[in-house]
Chains A and B, each alone.
Chain A
Amino acid sequence: MPPTDTTSPADPLPERAADGTPGKPPTRVPCGIKFEKVVKRFGDNVVLDHLNFEVAAGERVTLIGPSGSGKTTILRLLMTLEHPDGGIIRVGDDPLWHMERGGKLVKANERHLHEMRKRIGMVFQQFNLFPNMNVLRNLTEGPVHVLGLGKDEAVERARGLLDMIGLADKEDAHPTQLSGGQQQRVAIARALAMEPTVLLLDEVTSALDPELVVGVQDLLRDIAANTDVTMLCVTHEMGFAKDISNRVLMFDQGRIVEEGTPEAIFEDPEEDRTREFLSAILAT
């Protein structure tokens, strides 16, 4: 069964309030995520070991854990940047890396992956803006060439998002002319311009100077508060994780060691490994 797109790509976005102030960032019907016995290996190193977990539609989940515990790999599998070595990943009701053919799940082709990626957006640690495009083109290329929006509509959408992130005067700027914080806000807007139903955030503030972190975190808090997009966030910023998450998953060696509400995990963890990790984070 081919994956179904949940909304029309032509929805204008973001909506603006009657007084002209930027409105809510884009939202589509959110999708849940399900990992079923997912295995990922890099050579002999088993990064994810028959991992099972589920994220409900619209839920905000933060993944924490030491380096190499598989958090970023989960996001990269969801963004189709890495292949799983086993198991099934579902986004919405549809398998991401497989497609149904004759009642069986077979390996997905590029067309299926292209359809599934429409539901997912990702923001990277190092921003990864396209240096051969100015800010506006970074925001309009995807909507025009992938979603099929008209240029004027894509520009209107981009300008709305630039308003929302407080960079309306930077549309002609080149990424090299922006600070790290501004680049990251543009990268978030670029992801939102594609109207994802699932937003993946991979340590989005860890490459920023401390004084620039707040602006990016505030933007993400706004998005979490004003949209129902499903968010999966890898971060070491515990305060930020508390603010935006409904649930925290603690990973170690490719397995979930503990999960719970942010309050439960950060204030009263049950597992020694979680306590150990949190004290190491607080000590840095």
Chain B
Amino acid sequence: MSEVLNSYPQLLRGAWLTIQITLYAAAFALVLAMVFGLLGTARSRLLRAVNRVYVEFFRGIAALVLLYWFFYALPLLGLRFTPLAAAVLAIGLNYGAYGAEVVRGSVNAVPRAQWEAACAINFTPLQRLRRVLLPQAFALMLPPFGNLFIELMKATAGVSLVGIADLTFRAKQIQASTGQTAATFVVILVMYFVIAQALQVLVRLAERRSDRVLGRRLPTRPAPIAATTGEVVSP
């Protein structure tokens, strides 16, 4: 075990690359999810069809296969990417498709009465979306986005198969050089778990903020009344 732990600089470099790929791919996936998810809520059939094509195509392809395409197939067609860009594109496109379904479902799940009230205020369709529907839909998106975020982070382990020196790649190097298979994989198991927990904390913070915006964490009326004195207790 000590030999494995002594390799911590390598492991930390690998973990940092895993975190970088996770954050870049998640940001790219989020942009795709918002754009294609909102297209899925459009009135126009054509725009909804664009959403379906994107979602069905990229959801139906394994992230690893997409990665192989970006690494091995597209360069043959003259499209070359840096390893990091290829990893971010492949993972982002794949998880963006799942995210688009989350966005579409969440916007559609905001009660229709809210759309009607926004219409009665005479908001334009864009204002309805931006000022009323999206802020409420965002709260619905966060728990599934949290799941996807962690799933995406775990999926980055696949980049080790195309030679990117992420956490899993480094672990395989350490395992080969030390011969300590169990200890190596226990250490990276813990490291992946810690990264996942850190991401979960970020999502929880976003959920809390969103709950506050929607008034779900505010003192509710009426104020509690002290059982003995009958006086209103200030919150």
A→B interface (CB under 8 Å): 79-81, 110, 114, 117-118, 120-122, 124, 126, 128-132, 141-142, 145-146, 174-179, 190-191, 194
User: How many contacts A-B (CB < 8 Å)?
Assistant: 73
Query: Do B213 and A132 have beta carbons less than 8 Å apart?
Result: yes
Given contacts A128-B117, A130-B117, A131-B136, contact A177 B122 (CB under 8 A): no
The size bracket of the interface on B is 20 to 34
Say yes or no for B214: interface residue by CB 8 A criterion: yes
A230 CA to B60 CA, complexed, in Å = 56
Q: Given A124-B116, A132-B135, answer yes or no on A179-B122 (Cβ-Cβ < 8 Å).
A: no
CA gap between A190 and B131 in the complex, in Å: 15
Q: Is B113 an interface residue (CB 8 A)?
A: yes
Encode B103-122 as 1/0 by CB contact (under 8 A) with A. 00000000001101111111
Sample (7) of A-B pairs whose CB atoms are under 8 Å apart: A117-B120, A130-B114, A131-B214, A145-B123, A146-B122, A177-B221, A178-B221
Q: Which residues of A lie under 8 Å from residue B119 when comparing CB positions?
A: 79-81, 117
Determine whether B125 belongs to the interface, using a CB cutoff of 8 Å to chain A. Answer: yes
B218 lies within 8 A of A177 (CB):
yes
Alpha-carbon distance between A130 and B119 when the two chains are bound, in angstroms: 12
Interface residues of B in 61-76 (CB under 8 A from A): none
How many Å from the CB of B122 to the closest CB on chain A? 4
Q: How far is the CA of A174 from the CA of B219 in the complex (A)?
A: 10
Most buried by B among A128, A132, A174: A132
Chain B interfacial positions (CB closer than 8 Å to A)? 113-114, 116-125, 127, 131-132, 135-136, 213-216, 218-221
Tell me, rounded to whole Å, the shortest Cβ–Cβ distance linking B168 to chain A: 41
Which chain A residues border B125 with CB–CB below 8 Å? 110
Q: Which of A79, A110, A128, A175 contacts B215 (CB 8 A)?
A: A175
* Interface residue from B120, B123, B215 paired with A174 (Cβ < 8 Å): B215
* Minimal Cβ-Cβ distance residue in A for B216: A176
Contact at B117–A145, with CB atoms within 8 Å? Answer: no
Other contacts beyond A79-B116, A81-B120, A146-B122: 15, CB < 8 A: A81-B116, A110-B125, A118-B122, A121-B120, A128-B116, A130-B117, A130-B132, A131-B215, A132-B132, A132-B136, A145-B127, A174-B215, A176-B214, A176-B218, A177-B221
Cα–Cα distance between A110 and B124 once the two chains are bound (Å): 8
- A191-B221 in contact (CB<8A): no
Contacts of B216 in A (CB 8 A): 176
Q: A129, B117: Cβ atoms under 8 Å?
A: yes
Q: Given that A132-B214, A177-B215 are known contacts, is A142 also in contact with B122, CB under 8 Å in the complex?
A: yes
Closest Cβ of chain B: how far from A84's Cβ, in Å? 16
Instruction: Give B212's nearest chain A residue, CB to CB.
Output: A174
CB neighbours of B122 from chain A (8 A): 114, 117-118, 142, 146, 194
- CA A20 to CA B165, docked complex, whole Å: 72
A177-B220 contact given A128-B116, A128-B117, CB 8 Å threshold: yes
Whether A194 contacts B215 by the Cβ 8 Å rule is: no
Once the chains are docked, how many angstroms separate the CA of A120 from the CA of B120? 8
A190 and B121 within 8 A (CB): yes
Instruction: List A contacts of B114 (CB < 8 A).
Output: 128, 130
> Could you say which residues of chain B place their CB within 8 Å of the CB of A121?
120
